[in-house]
Amino acid sequence: MLAAVHENSAAQKTGLSAGDVLVAIDGVRVTGSNLDTLLAHYLPGAKVEVHAFRRDELRVAQVKLDPAEVSRYVLSTADGSGPSKQ
């Protein structure tokens, strides 16, 4: 189930909403444990066919994948020294 759909994301642009249950991407079953693996097979900008249920209605959408957001950061001090690397 989609917990959230970010504003202006590929999912929102194609009409997907929080609470929709993803069923398949390009004909391959989606589970909570394989979604990231499935999406890793595609480059940003690729178009995929997504099947999802909203309540009892099956929806099919063509989704153009956005690049993943950066979720890793490195902090350093103002003098340029950062964490020691070993």
DSSP, collapsed to helix, strand or coil, labels residue 31 as coil
Confidence of residue 60 (pLDDT cuts 50, 70, 90): very high
pLDDT at 55: 93
- Residue spans of the domains in the chain: they are 10-64
pTM over 0.85, yes/no? no
Superfamily name with CATH number, domain 10-64? PDZ domain (2.30.42.10)
Mean pLDDT for the stretch of residues 72-84: 59
